[in-house]
Each structure stands twice: as C-alpha cells, then as structure tokens.
Amino acid sequence: MDKLISVSFGVHVFFVLIALIVTVLRFFVVQDNNNYIKMTKRYEFLLPCYHLSITIIIFTGLILSAVSKFHINYTVYLMIIISLITLAGEFKVHKLFKKTSIKDLNSQDIFRKLAIKKYLLDIIMILATALIALIL
C-alpha cells in the first residue's frame, strides 16, 4: 500500500511539473504576434499534452484520495477547485479558439488576450497550490 502511495504521489508531482511547463509554453506560444497560422499549429500541438497532463493529475489525485480513505483536507479541496477552474477556463478558451478566423484580426486579438489571461492565471494557480501543499 505504501508503494502505491509513493508511486502515485511521484507521478502526481511529475505531471504537475509537466502541466506547469506546458502551460508556460502555451503562454509564450499565444504571445507570438508574428504569424497566426504558425501559432495555431504550435497551440494545437501542445493541446493534447496539456489535456493529458491535467487528466493524469486528476487521476493520480483520485488514487491518492482513495488510498487515504477519502480523507479530505483543505489542500485537497483547493486542488479540486483549481482543477475545475482550469478545465472550465480551458473549455472557454478552446471554444473561442475554434471560432477564431484566420482572416479576422479582431477575433485573433480577442483570442490572444483571453488565452494570455487564462494561462497566466493557470501558472499562478498551479504555483500557489503547490506552495500551499508544501506548507500544509
């Protein structure tokens, strides 16, 4: 049982770092104002990486929670809320991304502004949650 906890925790922390790295990369990709088509290709390349890392974080969190007999403290509640906010924001940004036209510069600008805010918020939330989890 202890081996399962240690492996799950290691995988959980590893994919939190991967999610943070992918979020930072997506933040910089969206800031690229030179070529929208090039930006969309990079953005779409990083999309499955981001979704996979968030999914694995949630899955390993559920495993850790089940192994600890669903003993939930404030840190776990914070992680659940952050996961839901991250997913909801990602749905909103992706929906706007799909509606954005290659020829419409105004819609591109709106998408970039929203995506930059979202990824900056994600970076702050991931770092804040990790720091709070380390402290508590």
pLDDT of residue 76: 87
pLDDT of residue 127: 94
Is pLDDT above 90 for 1? Answer: no
Which of the two residues, 69 and 40, has the higher pLDDT score? 40
Is pLDDT above 90 for 94? Answer: yes
pLDDT of residue 91: 93
Handedness of CA 123, 6, 59, 51 (dihedral sign): positive
Which of the two residues, 32 and 126, has the higher pLDDT score? 126
Please list, in sequence order, all residues whose beta carbon lies within 8 angstroms of the beta carbon of residue 76, skipping any fewer than 6 positions away: 61, 65
pLDDT of residue 134: 86
Over residues 21-68, the pLDDT tens digits come to 999 999 999 998 788 889 999 999 999 999 999 999 988 888 888 888
pLDDT of residue 52: 93
Q: How confident is the model at residue 101 (pLDDT cuts 50, 70, 90)?
A: confident
pLDDT of residue 92: 94
- pTM score, whole prediction: 0.88
Is pLDDT above 80 for 93? Answer: yes
